[in-house]
Amino acid sequence: MHSPERLPELLRGVGMTSQRTRDRMVARLAKQGITDERVLGVMAAEPRHLFLDEALAHRAYEDTSLPIGHGQTLSQPWMVARMTELVMNEAPRRVLEIGTGSGYQTLILSRLVPELWSVERINALHHLAAKRLRLLKAHNARLRLADGGHGWQEAAPFDVVLLTACAHELPEVLISQLSEEGVMILPLADPNGEQWLTRVRRSGTQHDVQRLERVRFVPLLQGVIR
Ligand code: SAH
């Protein structure tokens, strides 16, 4: 964990947490097919290493997912970029994220969308993410400790709902919190347990489900852990 006294130093970035390391990550993302300049721009600018335990910070810009405690993981940079690109394709004003986790995906989204809500079910992760996002002045991100399966009714409707944990069936409650033409992006498991990045496009009372690529996420779970 980063002590507040260490933050200025970590923010400046030394060695494996430096701007050059981030630039290399972004060059790799572009090679891997990420084309949205806005997404590449914020990922080049924002300190991913601050979202990991200090012992893992030097690996923050590697092409891999990393543990954040409580059996959860920070997705690999490519996955964050890909999902952010899918969100940005919708030019959304209001976005709901389910699974704050470390808060890194939340930070990236907060720099790109006007209004953001994010829900996490594990208290310790929620608290730490809130602290980091406050320090990084992501003031347009509102966080809540809750079971994201219920969405965020008072703030609905959302133009985009993004899940960063894998559902086993389409979360109807979340679909109901989409705006008329809203989109949900989520990892969704098929009956064989294979996970697919999936886009659900609402149109009035109907919705259209589109399967994108194979992915691997931690499961969407129920209840709150205090
Ligand atoms: N976007 C995160 C990824 C974290 S992993 C990051 O950038 O670090 C997925 C997160 O979803 C975990 O923190 C897990 O606790 C959370 N999660 C799983 N089921 C949930 C639920 N029903 N409601 C809210 N959060 C949930």
DSSP string, 108-139: HHHTTSSEEEEEESBHHHHHHHHHHHHHTT-T
Residue 4 has pLDDT above 60, yes or no: no
What atom of ligand 1 comes closest to residue 97's alpha carbon? 1
For residue 76, give the DSSP letter. P
How many angstroms is it from 120 CA to the middle of ligand 1? 6
Query: What residues are annotated to the active site?
Result: 75
Q: Which residues are registered as beta bridge partners of 86?
A: none
Average pLDDT over residues 195-204: 96
By alpha-carbon position, which residue is closest to atom 18 of ligand 1? 220
By alpha-carbon position, which residue is closest to atom 4 of ligand 1? 101
Of the CA atoms within 13 Å of residue 175, those in its CB half-sphere come to 16
Q: Measured from the CB, is residue 187 less than 6 Å from ligand 1? A: no
Confidence of residue 81 (pLDDT cuts 50, 70, 90): very high
Q: Measured from the CB, is residue 148 less than 6 Å from ligand 1? A: yes
Residue 33 has pLDDT above 80, yes or no: yes
How many angstroms is it from 166 CA to the middle of ligand 1? 9
For residue 164, give the DSSP letter. S
By alpha-carbon position, which residue is closest to atom 13 of ligand 1? 101
Confidence of residue 11 (pLDDT cuts 50, 70, 90): low
Q: Measured from the CB, is residue 84 less than 6 Å from ligand 1? A: no
- Mean residue pLDDT of the chain comes to 94
Report the predicted TM-score, pTM, of the whole model to 2 decimal places: 0.95
For residue 218, give the DSSP letter. P
Q: Measured from the CB, is residue 109 less than 6 Å from ligand 1? A: no
Residue 176 has pLDDT above 90, yes or no: yes
| Fold observed for domain 65-214 | Rossmann fold (3.40.50)
Q: What is the pLDDT of residue 17?
A: 75
How buried is 101 (Cβ within 10 angstroms: 0-12 exposed, 13-18 middle, 19+ buried)? Answer: buried
Average pLDDT over residues 131-155: 98
Average pLDDT over residues 43-60: 95
Q: What is the pLDDT of residue 212?
A: 98
Confidence of residue 1 (pLDDT cuts 50, 70, 90): low
Q: What is the pLDDT of residue 13?
A: 52
- Ligand 1 pocket, mutate which of 53, 80, 145, 220 (most atoms under 8 A from CB): 220
Helix ranges, the chain (H):
7-12, 19-31, 37-45, 77-88, 104-110, 123-135, 172-176
- Ligand 1 pocket, mutate which of 43, 72, 86, 109 (most atoms under 8 A from CB): 72
- Ligand 1 pocket, mutate which of 64, 84, 126, 164 (most atoms under 8 A from CB): 164
What atom of ligand 1 comes closest to residue 80's alpha carbon? 7
- Cα–Cα distances (Å) from 220 to 14, 198, 206, 223, in that order, read 35, 14, 24, 10
